[in-house]
Structure 1
Amino acid sequence: MPPTDASTDADTPTPVATGEITARAENTDGQDTLDLRLPDELLALIAEQDGPASAVGTASEHRITDTPTGPVEPDLLDNVGEWGPVTTPSGVFQLVPARIERDVALICRWMNDPAVAAFWELAGPEAVTVDHLRPQLEGDGRSVPCLGVLDGTPMSYWEIYRADLDPLARHYPARPHDTGVHLLIGGVANRGHGLGTTLLKAVADLVLDHRPPCARVIAEPDLRNTPSVSAFLSAGFRFSAEVDLPDKRAALMVRDRALRTVL
């Protein structure tokens, strides 16, 4: 079963939930909040995974060079690869959609870090990483795996996904266009210094800036992962509920557009 948690500042990366569901989520007042059956035209869409940047080499030598791209068709996540860079207190950060042939060795190395493997459960040869990436890259675009690139160097792995179209929606009152994030920090040197909090805030802002229909950014770190939960809280997320997922008890973290300037 794929992982379903997210990692931030601590040495505690997180699992991911992906897959298809057809259930209807309900609001706390009993009203339907989402019909999870996608229209046929949306099911036919394939997410564009080639972003406006090119990344090669190892994490230490990997640089990003912007390249022009033509118009892209809208997808289920409003073209993550087109969101562009954002300036943070730690440097210029950008989400670059992953490509197997370019990025599998780097992501595989991160997945084999014992601290990461404990939560993501994706340790092993590159074939394991490929098997995790390919369904997302060849799916309908409801989940986009990305490299997090800071000042031109890839240092984290992200999955931006439609939480309302994910199995997670079976376990909480999902709303249309809820957008989820999973994160792992790749290098030990980048963990434990507040960088995860900085990047979580930046990515949540990117989601809200580029996805107007999205009213909430969702995350579900393992409830036992206190540093991870703390990082989400520091990044402007609020603790919403405890939820029982198939392989963990999670803290449902929510960043509301309406409370964006408050939390």
Structure 2
Amino acid sequence: MSNLNDLTALALPSGRSLVADETESRLSLSLEGQPLIRLRLFREPALHIEVEERFGLPAGQAFWAACYWLFARNPDCQYLTWRLGEAPTEALLSGLLIPTETVGEYRCERTLFWQLPQPWLGALRTDSYPQQMVISAGKRHPLRPAKPRGEVYRRFDARLGAWISLRSVEIEQDLVCFNRWQNSPRVASFWEEEGSLQKHREYLNKLDADPHTLTLIGCFDDQPFAYFEAYWAKEDRIAPFYDAGDYDRGIHMLVGEEAHRGPHKVASWLSALVHYLFLDDPRTQRVVAEPRADNAKMIGHMHNQCFHCEKEFDFPHKRAALMVLGRERFFDRCKLA
């Protein structure tokens, strides 16, 4: 685990690096060696920021970079107050900054900052996919967009000191790994999907053709370690067991590589997975999961990431715990860094 007090640079998904020179009263940021912005910091009673000088990039991008740095340095910080001589139009339109009752003061709220989709998403949708209600398999739900291909999410986890990324499953590329993971006794005890390469090829092909489920590979520093299924709850077998919203997402989770187990790794990948699903469609209000009710370790990890257990219920094949995390709670409590 990295010490955030020692942080001097943050890598961005674009490949560029944000470098900082920070003292108690000043912060200077540069991007790939080019000066970006220089700020004065007033830390008492709460952090206030004034711009001394800005270089090159548009104001909105410079303000975003400064907010990212300060929130990453202090995951417990809930808001930043900016004192600006003129209204920051671009930042106000995006929601990066919001006006306060004091003339010339604007706030960046952590809960809003982490809902801005770029630069974390692999492909940015210009707007929410239009809603058209359809019926499939006897269930009424919104028509779903085409599933993305390739990398969908990337963020440098400053606490872990590693990249966490998500990409869509490429069956021929990932089949051997998936087969090995499913045949691990630890995984098999919960997933119960042991079998041959052919069985697992058919399993993945079936999900690839299913518009309600997105299969993902989780990577640390671009090395695959986990398999996830993200599904639209309204069309899933879970729907009859709770009041599923039209844009609720559900998750199935499998960590295959033993070296990437442990609570600090779960905190990184689970928060990234949930973050991606909330960013993917701003209408998504809840992420749910249904681990086996006796999977105390996984349920404990989910509690640590602010999920709550709404109830237990019976699937035909297992007694399940309904784990729920609301959008508001996630962005209010998230420790993304």
TM-score (normalised: structure 2): 0.55
**Match of 1:147, SS?**
strand
Pick the aligned partner of 1:208 from 246, 253, 278. 278
Answer whether contact 1:160 1:179 (CA < 8 A) is retained.
Answer: yes
Q: Is 1:139 aligned with 2:240?
A: no
- For 1:123 and 1:216, locate their aligned partners in 2 and report how far apart those are by CA, in whole Å: 31
- Find the aligned partners of 1:173 and 1:130 in 2 and give their Cα distance: 33
Matched, 1:96 2:167: yes
1:198 is displaced (CA, Å) by: 2.5
Deviations 1:8-60 (A, max 9, x none): xxxxxxxxxxxx753xxxxxxxxxxxxx3246xx37x6524x314xxxxxxxx
CA contact (8 A) 1:96 1:147 kept: yes
Residues 47 and 139 in structure 1, CA contact (< 8 A), matched pair in contact too = no
Identity percentage over the alignment?
A: 30
Relative distance call for 1:238 and 1:38 in structure 2 (3 A) is closer
- Structure 1 residues 110 and 180, CA, compared in 2 at 3 Å: closer, same or farther? same
Q: Which runs of 5+ in 2 are unaligned?
A: 1-135
Q: Supply the AA of the counterpart residue of 2:233.
A: A
User: What is aligned with 1:176?
Assistant: 246
CA-CA distance at 1:129 after TM superposition: 1.0
Go from structure 1 to structure 2 and tell me whether the alpha carbon gap of 1:169 and 1:136 turns closer, same or farther (over 3 Å shift). Answer: same
Deviations 1:111-157 (A, max 9, x none): 110111112122121111112111111222x1011110111100111
Matching of residue 152 in structure 1 with residue 255 in structure 2:
no
| Cα distance in structure 2, aligned partners of 1:21 and 1:246 | 19
Q: Which has the higher strand share?
A: 2
Find the aligned partners of 1:136 and 1:46 in 2 and give their Cα distance: 13
- Once the two structures are superposed, residues 43-101 of structure 1 have per-residue CA deviations (whole angstroms, 9 ceiling, x without a partner) of 7x6524x314xxxxxxxxxxxxxxxxxxxxxxxxxxxx3xx202223321111100111
Which of 135, 147, 169 is the aligned partner of 1:47? 147
Letter in 2 for 1:121: E
Residue of structure 2 in register with 1:17 after alignment: none
Question: In structure 1, what is the equivalent of residue 319 of structure 2?
Answer: 249
Is the CA contact 1:21–1:166 (under 8 Å) kept in the aligned structure 2?
no
Question: For residues 141 and 246 of structure 2, what CA distance do their matches in structure 1 show?
Answer: 11
> Could you say if the C-alpha distance between residues 197 and 262 of structure 1 is closer, same or farther in structure 2, counting changes exceeding 3 Å?
closer
SS of residue paired to 2:244: coil
1:114 is aligned to: 185
Which residue of 2 is the match for residue 55 of structure 1?
Answer: none
Bigger relative contact order, structure 1 or 2 (CA pairs below 8 A, ≥6 apart)? 1
Q: Distance in 2 between matches of 1:196 and 1:153?
A: 16
Give the aligned partner of residue 198 of structure 2: 127
- Deviation of the 1:197 alpha carbon: 3.0
Paired residue type of 2:156: T
Aligned residues: 196
2:156 — aligned with what? 87
Partner Cα distance (1:238, 1:213) in 2: 21
Q: Distance in 2 between matches of 1:152 and 1:256?
A: 29
Deviation at 1:262, TM superposition (A): 3.9
- SS state of the match for residue 262, structure 2? coil
Unmatched tracts of structure 1, length 5 or more? 1-19, 23-35, 53-80
**CA RMSD between the two structures:** 1.8
Q: Distance in 2 between matches of 1:258 and 1:128?
A: 40
Q: Does 1:37 align with 2:140?
A: yes
Note if contact 2:187-2:254 (Cα within 8 Å) is conserved in structure 1.
Answer: yes
Aligned-partner SS, 1:251: strand
Equivalent AA in structure 2 for residue 186 of structure 1: G
Is the partner of 1:231 in helix, strand or coil?
helix
Contact kept? 2:286, 2:325, Cα under 8 Å:
yes
Which residue is 1:227 aligned to?
A: 297
Q: In the alignment, which residue of structure 2 is the partner of 1:28?
A: none
Aligned partner of 2:239: which letter?
A
TM-score (norm 1): 0.69
Mapped contact 2:263–2:301 kept (Cα < 8 A): no
Look up the equivalent residue of 1:259 and give its one-letter code: R
Comparing 87-96 with 143-152, greater Cα deviation is found at 87-96
